[in-house]
Amino acid sequence: MNQLANQIAVVTGAGRGIGRAIALQFAAAGADVVCVSRTAENSEKTAGEIRALGRKAWAHAVDVADGAAVAAAAEAILAEAGRVDILVNNAGITRDGLILRMSEADWDAVVDTNLKGAFFFIKAFSRAFLKQRSGRILNISSVSALMGIAGQSNYSASKAGVIGLTRAVAREFASRGVTVNALAPGFIETDMTAVLTAEMKGDIAQRIPLGRLGRPEDIAEAALFLAGPGAGYITGQVLTVDGGLVM
C-alpha cells in the first residue's frame, strides 16, 4: 500500500540503523527520499538501495551540528526535489560516561548533534512547511529521555530536549496543518548497542516485558504511521517503541 505516494521525505542519519530503516520503509510506501548522513559514502549507499526499489533518492553529506551546512543543504534539497513533505530528525551520537568524568567536549558534541541538529533542520525547512500548509515532522528521541540512564547524562538531556522541542514546534505549526511528533525508541539492535556484550544484552532483555531488544524496522513501522494519512490528527505526542520497558 502506497501510504506515502508522491511524498518527498528527508531523513537525517539515514546511512545506517534506524535512519536507514526509516528511509527504506518510506520508499517502500511510495515516497522519494533525501538521505542525509555525515558521510557521502553512507548517504549514497542508502540512496542506492532506495533507487533499487524504483524510487527517487538524493544523497547529502551533512554535519547536522553545523547550522550553515544544514541551511545550504536544505536550499539544495528544495531546489532539486521541489518540496519536502516529511522531515525525520534521526541523526544522533553517544559519548557515554559518568558525569563525574564527562568532558565539556563530550557534552557539547552530543547536545549539538542530537538537539541542535534537529533545531537546525526544522528551522531550515520551516518556511517551506508553513507555506504549503501541510507536512509531517518526526523527531527521534529515546527512552533515555523518559527514564534516565546512568552514564548517559548528555544523551538523556539531549533527547529530553528533543521532546520539548517537539511539543513547542507542534504548537507553533499546528495552525498551518503541520504535525510534529516524537518517537522514543527503547534498546534497538543498532551500532549503538553493538558494543554491548551478549550478557549485557541478555540482562537488558530480561527487563523488557516483550523479552527482546527491538529492531530498526520496529521503529520504521511506527514512523510510517506518524508520517502517513492515518496520523493527521496527532501532534505534539511522544510514541514510545520499547517493548514495554517504560510503562
Residue 3 lies in a domain: no
How high does pLDDT run on average in the chain? Answer: 96
Residue 34 has pLDDT above 80, yes or no: yes
Residue 2 lies in a domain: no
Residue with cell 505526542: 237
**High-pLDDT (> 90) share of the chain, %:** 91
Residue 28 lies in a domain: yes
The whole-number average pLDDT for the span 227-242 is 97
Instruction: Please state, in angstroms and as integers, the Cα–Cα distance from residue 111 to each residue in 91, 158, 162, 192, following that order.
Output: 11, 5, 10, 16
Residue 247 lies in a domain: no
Residue 146 lies in a domain: yes
The pLDDT assigned to 1 comes to 67
The pLDDT assigned to 195 comes to 72
Q: 166-221: per-residue pLDDT in tens?
A: 999 999 999 999 999 999 999 998 876 767 778 888 888 899 999 999 999 999 99
Q: Residue 52 belongs to what domain range?
A: 8-241
C-alpha cell, 186? 527503547
Residue 46 lies in a domain: yes
Q: 60-76: per-residue pLDDT in tens?
A: 999 999 999 999 999 99
How many domains, the chain? 1
The pLDDT assigned to 31 comes to 98
Residue 57 lies in a domain: yes
For the chain, strand residue ranges (E) read 8-12, 32-37, 57-61, 86-89, 135-140, 178-185, 238-241
C-alpha cell, 26? 518510506
DSSP 8-class letter at 36? E
Active-site residue list: 155
Residue 16 lies in a domain: yes
Does the reported pTM lie above 0.75? yes
Q: 105-150: per-residue pLDDT in tens?
A: 999 999 999 999 999 999 999 999 999 999 999 999 999 999 988 9
The long-range contacts involving 73-80, CB below 8 angstroms and separated by at least 24 positions, are 73/36, 73/124, 74/121, 74/124, 74/125, 75/124, 77/10, 77/34, 78/125, 78/128
What CATH number does residue 57 fall under?
3.40.50.720
